[in-house]
Structure formats: C-alpha cells, structure tokens
Chain A
C-alpha cells in the first residue's frame, strides 16, 4: 500500500475512535438532558392560582388573605365563562328536542374540559377526589387543557390501509351562532387572568407527601423509602463485605477452597438482579418468614446480597493497596496480626473502602428489580421510625423511587397528567446516584493525594 493511503487509513482509524467516544458522550447527554430539564420542572415551574390554593388548603402554606384575594380576582375573570355556559343552557331549554340532543354531547365535553382547566365551579359541591377539586395547577398543564377546551380530536379514516389519523377540530364550529361562540376566544385571551401563572420554586416537592396518588404534593415517601432501603442494605453488606475482604487478603492462602470461594463471589456478582428479587421472595419472605410479606427488612437484605460482591471487591482492593511497610511497622511494635489490621490497616484503607461503599450505595438506591417482590409498594406513607415501634417499621412495605418511577410511568391511571412528578422522581434518583458517585470520585482523589504524601 502507498504511504499516503496508509496515513489516511491511520487517520481514519483514529477518527473512528473519536467518533465512538463522541457518540458515547452524546448518548449520555441525550439521556440526561431531558431528565435534567424536565425533572427540574418539577421544582421550578409556572404555578397557577390553583396551585397556590392547593398549597394553602392542603399544606397551609402561603399568605391566606393574599391568596384569597387573588382567587377572587381570578374567579371574577372566570365569571363570564360560567355566564356564557348558563346563557347557553337557557338557550338549549328553548330548543326543540332533536336540536337539543345534538348539542348535549358537545356541551358536556366542553364543560368537562373547562372543569379540568379551572376546577369545579365555586358554587358546586366540593368533589370527593382531590384531583377534581382543583383546576390546572401548572401553567404547562393548563396550556394543554386550554387546547382541550378549544379543540377536540377526531379520527380520519379515509385511508383504509392505515390506522385512523387524529385531526384537531375547533370546538367553536360546534357552537356557531350560540351563546357559547364567544367563549373560546374569551378563554384563549383571558387564560392568564383566569389562572394567574407565576414562577414558583417548589423545593418542598422533595419533602412533601403525595396527595391523591401523586396528582399533587411531593415524593417524600419514595425518597425516604429509598434512603432507608439503601442504608439498610449497607448495614448488612458493609460489615460482611469488609470482614470477607480482610479474610481474603490477610488470611486466605492460595488453596483450592479459596479459589472456589472467589469463583462463588464472582458468580454472585453476575446473578441478574431480577433473580435476586425472586430469591429474596423465596428465601427471606416465604422460607425464613422474617416478615409476613414485602418489607423494608426483606428489601434491605435482598439488596445487601446484591451489593455484597461489589463491597467485597472494593474493600479487597483498598486493603491490598495499603503498603506492607505499615503492616511491618505495627507488627514490629508487638501488635498482634488482628490488632495491626484493626488499628493500622483498616484506618489506612478506609477511604478506599468508603469509595466502594458509596458506589454500592448508588447501585442499591437505583435497583428496582430486587425490591419489586420484596419491599416496594406503589402507594404508602413515609416510614417513620419515631412514631411506631422499630420492628414494626422494619416489617412495613415502603414506596421507593425506582419502583414508583416504573409504577407512575406505566401503571398510573393518569400517566400523562403527572409527567412532571415522574420526571421529578427520575431527576431526584439520578441526582442521588450522581452525588454518591461524585463523593466516591472525591474520596478517591483524596486517597491518591494522601498516598503521594
């Protein structure tokens, strides 16, 4: 081959490498961007007067007089809508039977859409469900609701070979020449006055309990459940992992038995996480019966078995990297081997062990499959060790971020209504894991600095 071509190929080859690294970074960016941007939207958004009313009524937050005054203003802006509806009702009363029948359906739909946007009419009885008591609390949701008021969806079946194509039809066509004709323009023009959106910082999203299956409120039960599960897993996995690592590094020889043991540990590391879930169910709950059904304890134990090999490996590496000279110095001063391990080797390897532990915590916090059958429930109160007996809390099932992300995104009755909550949860979980990993990186940097002296 010509030298020129060879150079060209060489460049192209390097280019391929750069491209793949770029693709990797790009995919990370593509995945994290929506999670960060939209997850951030759970905390910072344009909240409407309905949001402030909900916060006042449900959490007793905000200035009551101010909010009520604002609500009065907003209701005054909504009044024409209701008047138009009433006028139309009178109009309908004067229609003939057939004509009225034609209008009944569309009017019903319109009223429903308006209720979703503005909440129930002030003079109506208060609905049972919290979700029906308030209008759109977020301006982004409100804009979609306005669309629902202005347009309805129809399916176009003209092309028989394909599925029906959705088409938006302005509702105003349905009400031409009636009292309602003016309503649509009014809603479009006066939406901000009716709802009064304002930038809101809702940090309490993290620490609020949820209201009516996450329609309103925050994600505290899930956050707390995740934290407890993670801590619980580490309480079991950390001592076991460190002790195992000490044995493997300081005492175990090179024998058959030990290499078998090592194979077992790497096998454990490779077991799929869902199998851990089944094992936790079959062993901790159905066989040992440590708790009657799903519980914090069973979940923590299952997660502990899952992260055990990671903790062992990290601790092993950390202990191995302690210079032998420390060991020799301690022994030469008359320390017993165990004493040298406890007083010198473990303290010296602590940052390394902590690095591994923190990374394992991130893993435990994010795992879903092992807790599906052993700990997680979709709806539940935040665990509270202070109020109930310790043991009873341990044997309670708990919501947890990873599980509830799945649950809200797939099984919730109004998946689209609560996207912001889902994104908020994903954002929180990812941030939690990233913070843990950043801590690990920080610890690692400190170790290498320390070893350099």
Chain B
C-alpha cells in the first residue's frame, strides 16, 4: 500500500473507536437503499450503518449522490417532484419511508445544515427560536434560554450575545453557518446532517466549524458530506466512499484512508481522479 497523499492527523480522542461501532450502536441503517430522480438512480443499493454519537463522513466525486443520500435521511428529497426511493432506510427503529411516518417529527429529530449558509432574513434570535416556536413554545423566557444554550453549543454566543435582535444576514459567512448549526440544535435533534458545510467558507471559518463538529461529537450523531478529504480525515470516525451512486467502501476513517480495500477508493484518495 502506498502512503496516503496527505498527512493524516487523527485526533487522540478518536484513536480508540472500535471498528464494530456501526454494528453495535447503529443509529441510521441503510439496507439496499436507492434513490431515483425519475428513472435515473442517484444512489444505488447502498447498505451501511451510521453509528450513534459519532461522526460519519460521506465522500466521493461531485455528482456521486452524496447530497442525495444525506437529504434522503430527513426526507428533504420529498420536495423534488419525481424523486422516489427503494430499499430501506431505518432511523432508530423506524423505516423513514414507512407509511405512517410523521415527516415533520422526523425532521425535528434529524436536523440539517446546508452547503450555503441560509439564515432567514430575520433577527438572530428569531432564527434560532424558529424551531422551538414551531414546537409550540411561546414563552419568551423559555425561548431566550433555548436560544442562549443553542448559540453556546454552536460557539457563537460570545460573538452575538449583544446583538440578538440584529438581522442575521448582517453576520459574516462563517458566523451565519454557525448560526444555522445553532438553529438546527435549538430543537435538540438526535442527528445532525451537514452537506458540505464549509465549502462556501474561508479557511478560518472552516476551522471553527470543524472544531464545532469535534465538540458536538458524542452528543449528536453527525453525518457530514464533504469533497475535501483532509476534512473527512480530520473530523470523522467513519467514512463512506460513494462513486456514481454505489457505495464502494465504508469503514473506520483511519483505515479507509491508510489501507483502502478497494482500488477505486485508493485512486480517489490518492487523487488519481475526482
């Protein structure tokens, strides 16, 4: 095996994650799961488990179906006409595409942070309070408490605590993205999905988001899509490599990057294509 094309510095804390974590503590299970746009398959019969409380990265070349897979988990693909699925996707113990699933309740458990920061054109406070408000919390004091806690968790509190009523669009890009994280955390989800959360940010903001992920690790199950392999290596415990909709390889991040089992994975991580 060749050495990986870049430095792998896997943090100490993650060195002892057992390889069996996905089997022993699965949180989201894909079984022969496919997603179609009309008749085109974007995700093809993938089978793997996302472990609870850990960070799982999904990597692969552009257009390989990473976003599609991620958005399938909280059923954001329902918005796209003609998009349908086959196989099973299990969240906890429920089939996400089961007939009686309450999609709103599902999305409250599975939060999402998008590629481009997308705060509402409202105040910072109202952005974070949006989710709890939907849950029916109207008490201003309780809302304030939730907003504060969420902003703290997203490591944004110190920066914005004096201007909570300012328009969120006045924040910098990195701050906006952390605000989006806070907004997702405010309804206390079990899972956090992040679709290339740093691709629109500068390096310094990227570092802050990565630090944030490290902090949230353990509290939330996190699935992060990235096309940046260093990032996947830095933040994730497990990595799934998708190629043209197929799941090529899934395993411990350290192993996948140092000793890939598949030729395609190796080609990809050594930069031979993609």
Contacts and interface: CB of A to CB of B under 8 A. Distances in A.
Interface of A: 253, 323, 325-336, 339, 343-344, 347-348, 450, 453
B187 interface: yes
Interface string B89-111: 00000000000000011011001
Nearest to A344: B120
Nearest to A323: B118
B134 A326 contact: no
B138 to A, nearest CB: 13
Contact of A331 (B79, B81, B120, B122): B79
B61 interface: no
Contact of B130 (A253, A328, A330, A336): A330
B180 A339 contact: no
A333 B121 contact: no
A333 B118 contact: no
Nearest to A329: B118
B107 A331 contact: yes
A325 B121 contact: no
A120 to B, nearest CB: 68
Contact of A453 (B104, B135, B169, B183): B169
Interface in B108-138: 108, 111-112, 114, 116, 118-122, 130-131, 134-135
A325 B114 CA distance: 8
A347 B121 contact: yes
B114 A333 contact: no
B76 A328 contact: yes
A328 B184 CA distance: 12
Interface string B175-197: 00000100110010000000000
Given A323-B118, A331-B76, A335-B134, 11 more contacts: A325-B114, A328-B112, A328-B114, A330-B130, A334-B107, A334-B108, A334-B131, A334-B135, A344-B120, A347-B122, A348-B121
A327 B121 contact: no
B239 interface: no
A343 B79 contact: no
Contacts of B108: 333-334
Nearest to A348: B121
Contacts of A339: 134
B111 A332 contact: yes
Nearest to A343: B130
21 contacts: A323-B118, A325-B114, A326-B118, A326-B121, A328-B79, A328-B112, A328-B118, A329-B120, A329-B183, A330-B120, A331-B76, A331-B107, A332-B111, A333-B111, A333-B130, A333-B131, A334-B135, A339-B134, A343-B130, A348-B120, A450-B121
A326 to B, nearest CB: 6
Contacts of B221: none
A383 B107 CA distance: 54
- Tier of interface size on chain B: 20 to 34
Nearest to A345: B120
B74 interface: yes
A335 B186 CA distance: 14
A327 B79 contact: yes
A343 to B, nearest CB: 7
Interface in B80-94: 81
Contacts of A326: 118, 120-121
Given A334-B107, A334-B187, A339-B134, A329 B180 contact: yes
A332 B74 contact: yes
Contacts of B130: 330, 333, 335, 343
A235 B37 CA distance: 43
Contacts of B114: 325, 328-329, 332
Contacts of A333: 107-108, 111, 130-131, 134, 183-184, 187
Contacts of B105: 334
Contacts of B135: 334
Between A323, A328, A329, A334, the greatest number of chain B beta carbons within 10 A of the residue's beta carbon is seen for A334
Contacts of A450: 121, 169
Contacts of A336: 104
Contacts of A334: 104-105, 107-108, 131, 134-135, 187
Contacts of A329: 114, 118-120, 180, 183
B223 to A, nearest CB: 14
Interface string B4-48: 000000000000000000000000000000000000000000000
Nearest to A334: B108
A356 B169 CA distance: 25
Contacts of A328: 76, 79, 112, 114, 118
A333 B135 CA distance: 10
A453 B107 CA distance: 28
Most A Cβ at <10 Å: residue of B81, B114, B120, B184? B120
- A253, A327, A332, A339, most chain B CB atoms within 10 A: A332
A328 B169 CA distance: 17
Nearest to A335: B134
Contacts of B120: 326, 329-330, 344, 348
A103 B257 CA distance: 122
Nearest to B112: A332
A332 B134 contact: no
Nearest to A253: B81
Nearest to B117: A325
Contacts of B76: 328, 331-332
Given A325-B114, A330-B130, A450-B121, A335 B104 contact: yes
A335 B103 CA distance: 10
Nearest to B74: A332
B15 to A, nearest CB: 33
Contact of A332 (B107, B119, B121, B169): B107
Nearest to A322: B121
